[in-house]
């Protein structure tokens, strides 16, 4: 991947990042590298980049990776770089989200990293709010809350007067992510990540659900723990045209592949602590796939695999109080067969 970036991409401009433009502080403030992978998001990228440029009281470098876009995405990013020298652009052949993030990780200079998808937004104090928590807690990962908004709507960011902060150990964070208990998601967005966590780590390329694939290797490196803030630090755009997750494809099975890899990683080091949490996430993923996938012979093998996964883990999950109630109920319903599960899922989605 390093050779590909050095020979097949362009980086501009070469001027060093400054802390201006958004009320930047002095050199004693940690530099945050904001990484923006962008592929054919010309309709949304200007709003995204403007929201980053408007961050208050922080020092930023912004690395926008044009991942082989066929629309005006690259031009928009380069125009922003021409007027704001905190912005840098990497132009490369299309390789997917992980490849784009990895290209930026190879050149990021900040003490902290923040991932922002090119169709999403940040509220004005997102980075400074997270940095404040990082300074106070000295945690290796600092995560905030999301605001979901539909494409075409204007997000209304509101903040608690005094955001609450919760501390988790790395093991607690891994379980919270896998159990999907609502405290923290497995996404790489809406959080600050200490740069050293990625010294020998990169996102797996060529897969969907890449954030889930690195949950263990990333969070197990967070020896100083994880801090959770109740502040809203990220606006996630839903239901936009062109999103890869809007359509169901066989690649959706990557979620099961990633979880099975994670299970093998735990087994290889003799760590059975997280096995129940991994199985809870496997159950949830298999149930979700089974409900979402179209009927017909094209997906019969995937449906059989989902059902086999459900049968493998349902006994332990039904009696595990940390598994989401809706998943435990669905596990019970699975004893009635695949047809009943899909029918119940269809009713639930209506």
Residue 246 confidence (pLDDT):
55
253, HSE (Cβ side, Cα atoms, 13 Å) = 13
pLDDT for position 161? 77
Q: For position 241, what pLDDT does the model report? A: 60
Q: What is the rounded distance in angstroms from the CA atom of residue 237 to the CA atom of residue 203?
A: 22
Res 6: pLDDT: 31
Alpha-carbon gap, residue 275 to 317, rounded angstroms: 11
- Return the pLDDT at 344: 79
* pLDDT of res. 242: 56
Q: Domains along the chain?
A: 2-238 (3.90.550.10), 248-349 (no CATH)
pLDDT value, residue 16: 38
- Residue 348: predicted pLDDT: 52
**Angle, vertex CA 195, rays to CA 192 and CA 196, nearest 5:** 130
Residues in the chain predicted with pLDDT less than 70, given as ranges, are 1-27, 240-247, 346-350
Check residue 166 and give its pLDDT. 97
The pTM assigned to this predicted structure is: 0.89
* Residue among 10, 24, 38, 27 nearest 85 (CA): 24
The span from the CA of 33 to the CA of 219, in Å, is 19
């Amino acid at each position: 991947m390093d050779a590909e970036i050095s020979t097949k991409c362009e980086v501009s401009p070469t001027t060093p990042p400054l802390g201006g433009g958004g009320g930047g502080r002095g050199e004693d403030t940690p530099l945050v590298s904001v990484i923006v992978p962008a592929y054919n998001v010309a309709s949304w990228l200007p709003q995204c980049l403007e929201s980053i440029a408007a961050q208050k009281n922080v020092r930023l470098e912004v690395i926008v990776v044009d991942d082989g876009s066929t629309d005006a995405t690259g031009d928009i990013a380069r125009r922003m770089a021409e007027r704001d020298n905190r912005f840098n652009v990497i132009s490369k052949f299309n390789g997917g989200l992980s490849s784009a993030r990895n290209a930026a990780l190879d050149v990021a200079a900040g003490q902290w990293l923040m991932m922002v998808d090119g169709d999403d937004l940040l509220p004005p104090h997102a980075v400074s709010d997270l940095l404040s928590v990082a300074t106070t807690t000295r945690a290796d990962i600092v995560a905030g809350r999301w605001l979901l908004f539909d494409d075409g709507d204007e997000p209304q960011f509101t903040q608690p007067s005094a955001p609450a902060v919760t501390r988790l150990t790395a093991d607690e964070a891994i379980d919270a992510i896998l159990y999907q208990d609502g405290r923290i998601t497995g996404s790489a967005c809406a959080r600050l990540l200490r740069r050293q966590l990625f010294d020998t780590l990169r996102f797996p390329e060529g897969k969907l659900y890449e954030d889930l694939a690195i949950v263990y290797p990333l969070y197990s490196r967070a020896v100083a723990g994880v801090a959770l803030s109740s502040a809203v630090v990220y606006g996630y755009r839903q239901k936009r045209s062109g999103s890869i997750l809007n359509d169901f494809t066989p690649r959706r099975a990557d979620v099961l592949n990633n979880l099975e890899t994670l299970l093998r990683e735990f087994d290889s080091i003799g760590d059975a602590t997280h096995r129940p949490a991994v199985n809870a996430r496997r159950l949830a993923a298999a149930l979700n796939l089974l409900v979402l996938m179209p009927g017909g012979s094209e997906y019969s093998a995937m449906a059989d695999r989902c059902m086999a996964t459900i049968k493998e883990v349902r006994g332990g999950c039904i009696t595990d109080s940390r598994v989401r109630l809706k998943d435990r109920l669905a596990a019970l319903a699975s004893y009635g067969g695949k047809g009943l599960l899909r029918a119940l899922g269809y009713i639930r989605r209506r």
